[in-house]
C-alpha cells in the first residue's frame, strides 16, 4: 500500500471526526489545560490571515477568575438594562459558574490596506479552528455571542477598544452526560451550487 494512500486514509479518519462536530452547551469539568489548551489556542493561530496581520487575540477566563468575570458581566447587564438588572445579573453569574473554561475571541483591528471585515473574519476563522481542535481532543464547546459580546464595557474589560472588538466567547469543557438528540447534517444540495455563466 503506497504511503500516500495511508496518509490520505488517516486524513479521512480525521475528517470523519470533524464531520461529527456539534455545539455542546452542557459542560462540566475538566476543562482543557496544559498541552491540550495550548493545542486549542495554537489551532486558532493557523487561521487564514490576509496581510499576515495576526489580528486575533484570545483571553482565557478560568478557575476563580470566572466568578469575578461573572460579577463584571452582571454589572454590565445592569448598565444596559437597570430594570432587569437582578435577573440578567443572576443569569450572567450562572452562565460562568457552569462553564469550565471561557475563551474570549476578538480582533485587534489594524489600520491599513486590509479591510476591517477581513480582519474580523480571520478572528472568526480562528474561533472555528479552536472549536474543531477542542472537538478532536474530546472536549465539548460552543461559540456564544449575545449582548455581552457586543457590550463596549465588556469589550474594554477584556482589552478590546473600538474599532477592535470581540467576535464571541468559546465555552469549553467536558460534555456533561445528557440525552443528545440526533441533529441531521444539513443537506449539501441546499447550500452548494455550481455557478454557470449567464446565457448570452
How many domains does the structure of the chain reveal?
1
Q: For residue 113, what is the domain's CATH number?
A: 3.40.109.10
- In angstroms, the Cα distances linking 17 to 14, 83, 133, 136, 177 are 5, 46, 11, 7, 20
Name the pLDDT band for 4 (thresholds 50, 70, 90).
Answer: low
Read off the pTM.
0.92
Q: Is residue 110 part of a domain?
A: yes
What residues contact residue 114 under an 8 Å CB cut-off, 6+ apart? 50, 51, 53
Q: Is residue 21 part of a domain?
A: no
pLDDT at residue 91 tops 50: yes
- pLDDT average, residue stretch 144-155: 97
Name the pLDDT band for 1 (thresholds 50, 70, 90).
Answer: very low
pLDDT score recorded for residue 153: 96
- pLDDT average, residue stretch 128-144: 98
Q: Is residue 193 part of a domain?
A: no
Hunting for cell 438594562 — which residue is that? Answer: 81
Q: Is residue 194 part of a domain?
A: no
Q: Is residue 22 part of a domain?
A: no
Cβ contact 63:97 at 8 Å: no
CA distance 193 to 178: 37
What mean pLDDT is reported for the chain? 94
Name the pLDDT band for 5 (thresholds 50, 70, 90).
Answer: low
pLDDT score recorded for residue 79: 95
Q: Is residue 98 part of a domain?
A: yes
Q: Is residue 51 part of a domain?
A: yes
- pLDDT average, residue stretch 37-62: 98
94 SS3 class: helix
pLDDT at residue 19 tops 60: yes
Q: Is residue 9 part of a domain?
A: no
Name the pLDDT band for 71 (thresholds 50, 70, 90).
Answer: very high
By residue range, what is the domain housing residue 170? 27-176
Amino acid at each position: 500500500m503506497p504511503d500516500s494512500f495511508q496518509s490520505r486514509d488517516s486524513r479521512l479518519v480525521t475528517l470523519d471526526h470533524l464531520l461529527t462536530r456539534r455545539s455542546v452547551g452542557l459542560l462540566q469539568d475538566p476543562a482543557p489545560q496544559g498541552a491540550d489548551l495550548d493545542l486549542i489556542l495554537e489551532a486558532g493561530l493557523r487561521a487564514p490571515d490576509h496581510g499576515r496581520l495576526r489580528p486575533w487575540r484570545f483571553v482565557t477566563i478560568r478557575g476563580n477568575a470566572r466568578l469575578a468575570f461573572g460579577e463584571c458581566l452582571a454589572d454590565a447587564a445592569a448598565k444596559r438594562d437597570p430594570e432587569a438588572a437582578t435577573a440578567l445579573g443572576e443569569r450572567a453569574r450562572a452562565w460562568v459558574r457552569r462553564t469550565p473554561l471561557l475563551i474570549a475571541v476578538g480582533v485587534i483591528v489594524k489600520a491599513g490596506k486590509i479591510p476591517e471585515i477581513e480582519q474580523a473574519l480571520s478572528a472568526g476563522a480562528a474561533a472555528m479552528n479552536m472549536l474543531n481542535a477542542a472537538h478532536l481532543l474530546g472536549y465539548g464547546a460552543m461559540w456564544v455571542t449575545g449582548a455581552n459580546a457586543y457590550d463596549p464595557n465588556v469589550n474594554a474589560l477584556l482589552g478590546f477598544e473600538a474599532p477592535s472588538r470581540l467576535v464571541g466567547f468559546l465555552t469549553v469543557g467536558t460534555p456533561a452526560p445528557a440525552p443528545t438528540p440526533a441533529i441531521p447534517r444539513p443537506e449539501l444540495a441546499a447550500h452548494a451550487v455550481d455557478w454557470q455563466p449567464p446565457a448570452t
